[in-house]
Amino acid sequence: MSEIKATNEQRWLDALERELKGKSLEDLNLKTPEGIPVKPLYTASDLKNLQIGDSMPGVRPFMRGAHASMYTNRLWTVRQYAGFSTAEESNLFFRNNLAAGQTGLSVAFDLATHRGYDSDHSRVEGDVGKAGVAIDSVEDMKILFDGIPLNKMSVSMTMNGAVLPILANFIVAAEEQGVKKEELSGTIQNDILKEFMVRNTYIYPPEPSMRIVADVIEYTAKYMPRFNSISISGYHMHEAGATAVEELAFTLADGLEYVRSAVNRGLNIDDFAPRLSFFFAIGMNFFMEIAKLRAARILWAELMEKFNPKEKRSLVLRTHCQTSGVSLTEQEPHNNVIRTTIEALAGVFGGTQSLHTNGLDEAVSLPTPFSARIARNTQLIIAEETGVTNVVDPLGGSFYLESLTASLVEEARKLINEIDELGGMTKAVMHGVPKQRIEKSAAEKQARIDKGEEVIVGVNKYRNESEEEIDILEVDNSAVRAQQIKRLKAVRRSRDEKFCKKVLQELTNAANKDDHNLLELSIEASRARATVGEISEALEQKYTRYRAEVKSIKGVYSAAYEGDEVFTNIQKDVEEFAELAGRRPRILVVKLGQDGHDRGAKTIATAFADIGFDVDIGPLFQTPEEAAKDAIENDVHVIGVSSQAAGHKLLVPKLIKELNKNGSENIIVVCGGVIPKQDYNYLFKKGVSAVYGPGTNIPKAASEIIDVIKDRSHF
């Protein structure tokens, strides 16, 4: 038999040599961004030393599935992450989706809510209702779920910074609907550590934030047996640029930190561990994403065994998945349907417990009902028409997949150990270690795309001559905010103000004491009709509001372009400008409003610095007035506004107005990020010099901006 095998392998090598015509086998080998080598062919011999044995679904290490029967017995939950405008609008959207086949809800909150501000706060003028639904009090929450039986519907809520008031409002809304908290099912994200790494919708510093996480775990373990107290999220790491190894390792390290925190509070591991859940992104590297979910289950079982659980369920990693937003393109948006289908299929083959599929238009806007329906039907077609649910783990036994899974386990285990050596994830986050690694990976990926080494069809290869426009969902932010302010005033008028203040003071007093559960007190505040902003501010009095130190990395982007003639010529243009002007071109990169997604801003800052610009990075969550002041004080040539949350139409004109008011109309303003083509002319009319949408080639943009600066400087 071995002789036959050897003969077959030799025959393949001989055939390969003929086809390669002078190239070697090594020319077909590659290395992934994770550093994992990939061969052109895998055989049974690649499985010899892998410790996978006869692994079975539903049995430790759960590589082949969290449950023994998987989708042969029960399909994954079909969720759509949605929420926009007012609670009324979102409620209608939810009910229509449920009627069309959706089986669970996943709520997107606006950035004002995420950051613990009421809609009438001066810092959130451009954010209310834009990237999610505005929730200011329990009255909004009641409207959001009107007509939706919360004792029967699983509800997932993406909320971290303002987790206390939002979960409290949900519990009270259910209570007033006649549903006991014991009957509630679903998930609250409650994953604050990743916020300090990538998404930045934190409110308080890391240590008090971890106390809040533990309080939520403790309360739900006692009173909400069907509810998942935390969804440990790698999704946002992936979207920020993390490799599969980084997403896997940092997510599980976060989970380990939360478990330790709960155990240190005296909680029994089996009382809460079965209700922990995870949340991973599914990108376009098909087999890598499948292997990532399989590796996650192996590693989590390994990590949890150290706590000596008595129940098998405590060892099982259960996960929700969402197709990647960063893989969607503005160019040829209908291609996004294909991308989402491939990613959804990978999530299913990987064994996810629930799934969200993105709309084709989400590279530039919130999904329309049309695109949301296609996204939802993608899941239904996979479930009902393909036959992939007929077999548990249909790709199990693939030589390549099993090898890739083992490699991911090995690499992620190394990184988890590195985090442990730093003292755990909280300390690693405080030192900025995961954040810096992810930003490095993001810069490297962008360089590969800009150079054409990583192909994005329709963007850097096979680009269409004419670009199509699609209908987008436009939210009238001013109207939403006016409605929210009106309801806020009504809530404050109708409540017992004295009692409300008393309850809020009790919450403040408990902030630095361990003898009160903060979620329990927040529920009391919610019943008293305290608002999201008031509950958040009650804790802010003791904890303060956290401001992250803004840093950028250097040399990563330019390293990818070493020896590239075009890149070198752009650097020469910068040097020539510096000689003429007596200084380098200077750019201030800013984020306006409460949008914490800073991947684009950080990548631009890194790339432009490597090209030769002097680069300043503004702190997150600036107002237009603050950004203008920074630009004037730093004497910059240009402000680059990075937008991802649709506040650009309100906030950018305010920035320009502020510059003009202070006699600095010579400062150029450019915009980049998630900006629909339909908004370009509006921005140009308001004084914006250039707009760079998704898929922009950074060196080309830098070259254009140098020319604009030269023109403005009359060089």
Q: Active-site residues: which are they?
A: 81, 235-236, 591, 595, 597
Among residues 629, 655, 630, the alpha carbon closest in space to that of 641 is found at 655
Pairs from 206-212 (Cβ < 8 Å, separation ≥ 24): 206/426, 206/429, 206/430, 206/546, 207/426, 208/511, 208/539, 208/542, 208/543, 209/161, 209/546, 210/257, 210/261, 210/426, 211/518, 212/163, 212/164, 212/518
- Who contacts 413 (Cβ-Cβ below 8 Å, separation ≥6)? 249, 299
Ramachandran angles phi, psi of 495, nearest 5°: -85, 165
Q: Is the dihedral of CA 691, 696, 702, 707 positive or negative?
A: negative
Q: Report whether 639 contacts 655 (CB < 8 A).
A: yes
Report residue 681 CA to chain centroid gap.
Answer: 29
Task: From 624, 617, 625, select the one nearest 600 (Cα to Cα).
Answer: 617
Sign, CA dihedral 660-662-667-670, equals negative
Helix (H) or strand (E) holding 502: helix 497-510
**In whole angstroms, what separates CA 95 from the centre of its chain?**
25
Tokens of residue 110, six digits: 């606006």
Separation of alpha carbons 137 and 142, rounded Å: 9
- Cα(183)–Cα(18) distance, rounded to whole angstroms? 66
Contact 446, 280 (CB under 8 A): no
Which residue reads 């775990």 in tokens?
217
Whether 105 contacts 154, CB under 8 Å: yes
Q: Can you tell me the distance from the alpha carbon of 444 to that of 95, in angstroms, rounded to the nearest whole number?
A: 42
Q: Is 475 left (phi over 0), alpha (psi -120 to 50) or beta?
A: beta
* Distance from C-alpha of 489 to C-alpha of 620, rounded to nearest angstrom: 29
Q: Cα separations (Å) of 269 from 223, 224, 313, 459?
A: 16, 16, 11, 48
- Quickly count: other Cβ atoms within 10 Å of residue 677's Cβ: 15
Q: What secondary structure does DSSP assign to 316-344, as a single string?
A: ---EEEEE-STT--SSSTTHHHHHHHHHH
CA dist 84 → 146, 473, 480 (Å) = 16, 10, 10
Per the CB < 8 A criterion, the answer to whether 638 and 648 are in contact is: no
Distance CA 671, CA 330 (A): 15
Over its C-alpha atoms, the chain yields an Rg (Å, rounded) of 26
84 DSSP assignment: -
Q: In terms of C-beta distances under 8 Å and separation of at least 24 residues, what long-range contacts does 664-669 make, across chains too?
A: 664/628, 664/631, 664/632, 666/712, 667/631, 667/632, 667/636, 667/637, 667/638, 667/639, 668/637, 668/638, 668/639, 668/705, 668/708, 668/709, 668/712, 669/638, 669/639, 669/641
Q: What is the dihedral of CA 677, 681, 687, 688, to 10 degrees?
A: 20
Q: Which residues contact 286 (CB under 8 A, 6 or more apart)?
A: 342, 345, 346
Instruction: Give dist(CA 61, CA 471) in Å, integer.
Output: 46
CB-CB contact of 589 with 616 (8 Å): yes
The partner residues of 233 in beta bridges, in order of sequence, read 279
In angstroms, rounded to a whole number, what is the distance separating the alpha carbons of residues 676 and 531? 33
Secondary structure of 24-49 as H, E, C letters? CHHHHCEECCCCCEECCCCCHHHHCC
